[in-house]
Amino acid sequence: MLNLAAALARPAQATGVAPGRVNLLGEHTDYSGGFVLPTAIPQQARVELAHSPDGDFHVHSASLGRQVVFAPDDSVPGDFARYVYGCVAVLRSRGFEVPPLSMRIDSDVPIGVGLSSSAALEVAVLRGIRALLGLPLDDVELALLAQRAEVEYAGVRCGVMDQMASSLCDREHMLFLDTRSLEHRLLPLPAGTRVLVIDSNTPRALADSAYNERRSECEAAARQLGVAQLRDVADVARAASLPPPLDRRARHVISENARVLEALGAPPRRFGELMDASHASLRDDYEVSVPALDALVLALRSQPGVLGARLTGAGFGGACVALVEAAAVDAAREGALRAFAAAGHRGTPLV
């Protein structure tokens, strides 16, 4: 076998770059066919690719300091390489011939914080392979392949929001996405506002198992309500007919979809109020918050110029997002960090 360092020293023949994302509204609705409003963050995954000098894939993560070699017919590797393997596998399932490649990955998207580091990696890998091989894939097709890679090879039953956001978003807009029809459009952020993201530094120890559990509960609630997905229910009062905890899960999804649709034409202050209501729903009905996230949301909301704040991502730890008047964002960031520290926690500003 060729020396791995030598394989990775080959000049890059193509590059793929994709951002992480933060979700402003529409949490835990995508796998129920609902509506979401994510936006891109500055942090991104970057993948440099070249044809492999031998018959193996050589993958090095500079940010993790780890490297993996696997053959095209190997079983799924562990660690970060399963995302790369999955991207290659789904391309091959579409009939594209993907030769062995050497890849160098560098990502500054925080892992385990709720900012979609895995989706950024998948989209970056697929963009790089698309560029190298000249594949006829548009950005929506690419996002759908990235989602398949995560579901089938990383074992996360995710919806399509993260990959669509990484493939279609930019930092100046929010992406309105109907996750059922895939209708989408970029919209400006509420006038005169900026997005603030702070990591609670609380590990998301239960996020993956609880994510799959919540998805199963939503599917059960839809069956009992006689609909294909909770997206098909507009009247939140219908959730009361369900047994607990399905009533609470359905109430969150139905009300969260309504919040996203209202936010599309909402002025900044109302948008912030919808974010506040979203956090309350995630905390009380969906039960994916933890005390540190609630404390960080309170610390953010106590700052002048903060219009609304909520947890973002799967929950059980990770980051919170706030909508802030642009002129107040620096003071709000510092004030929230101080208030969070006074409550016994340590936050890390990310955006």
Query: Cα–Cα distance between 175 and 186 in angstroms, integer?
Result: 5
Tens-of-pLDDT digits for all 351 residues of the chain?
455 556 556 789 999 999 999 999 999 999 999 999 999 999 999 999 999 999 999 999 999 999 999 999 899 988 889 999 999 999 999 999 999 999 999 999 999 898 999 999 999 999 999 999 999 999 999 999 999 999 999 887 788 999 999 999 999 999 999 999 999 999 999 999 999 999 999 987 655 678 889 999 999 999 999 999 999 999 999 999 999 999 999 999 999 999 999 999 899 999 999 999 999 999 999 999 999 999 999 999 999 999 999 999 989 999 999 999 999 999 999 999 999 999 999 999 999
Name the pairing type of β-strands 14-25 and 57-61: unpaired
Instruction: Please give the distance of CA 69 from its chain centroid, rounded to a whole number.
Output: 27
Count of other CB atoms within 10 angstroms of residue 335: 18
Helix ranges (H only) for 59-204 are 81-93, 117-133, 139-153, 161-168
What pLDDT does residue 253 have?
Answer: 98
What local confidence, expressed as pLDDT, does residue 39 receive?
98
Q: Tokens in use for 304? A: 């002048």
Parse the chain into domains and list their residue ranges.
4-188, 193-349
CATH class of the domain whose range is 193-349: alpha beta
Q: What integer pLDDT is reported at residue 32 of this predicted model?
A: 96
Find the catalytic residue in 30, 56, 162, 285.
162
Q: Identify whether the C-beta of residue 308 lies closer than 8 Å to the C-beta of residue 289.
A: no
Instruction: Please name the residue ranges forming H helices in the chain.
Output: 4-8, 81-93, 117-133, 139-153, 161-168, 207-225, 246-263, 268-284, 291-301, 329-342
Report the CATH number of the 4-188 domain.
3.30.230.10
What is the separation, in whole angstroms, between the first and last Cα of the chain? 43
pTM for this structure? 0.92
Give yes or no: 108 in active site: no
Beta pairing, strands 306-311 & 14-25: unpaired
